[in-house]
Amino acid sequence: MERTFIMVKPDGVQRGLVGEIISRFEKRGFKLVGLKLMQISRELAETHYGEHKGKPFFEGLVNFITSGPVVAMVWEGKEVIATAREMMGATNPLKAQPGTIRGTYGIDVGRNVIHGSDSPESAQREIALFFKEEELLSYDKTLDTWIYE
């Protein structure tokens, strides 16, 4: 089973979308294995978004992601990394398919509500960046027999 890092960004928290976003992943059948409300430090933000350092939007991105509480999560399930990206929709919400999270709740690229890891490598890196080993739980869900064949 794969794990991915998902984060409700400060705009999503302020707009009251935490429950809605968690609900979408729950209803899809994925398993929540880590969860915390936190305010990201500048240092963590710059490391997390390190691949974008030097781009024109980097400073604004770091300012935005550190501007208020975020909800950091780890979700587990079959092909959850790519599936979460599909559920999120395109980076620019105006280009995101209707029905996706960004395509339902967003307009501007700098206020796109949610972050999700884009590959197994980034999932591993981001999970380790935000969570200690003991903050991630392994447990059985009886419902899984009705979700997986």
DSSP string, 9-34: -HHHHHTT-HHHHHHHHHHHT-EEEE
Nearer to ligand DAT, 107 or 143 (CB): 107
Give the number of C-alpha atoms closer than 13 A to the C-alpha of residue 131, restricted to the C-beta side: 25
115 belongs to the binding site for ligand DAT (CB under 6 A): yes
CA gyration radius, the chain: 15
Point out the catalytic residue in the list 115, 116, 123, 127.
115
Q: 91 labelled as ligand-binding? A: yes
Stretch near ligand DAT under the rule CB under 6 A, chosen from 14-22, 26-34, 67-75, 108-116: 108-116
Say which entry of ligand DAT, Mg ion, none residue 39 contacts (CB below 5 to 8 A, set by partner kind): none
Q: Which residues pair with 74 in a beta bridge?
A: 5, 34
Q: Binders of Mg ion among 71-130, rule CB under 5 A?
A: 118
Residue positions annotated with a catalytic role: 115
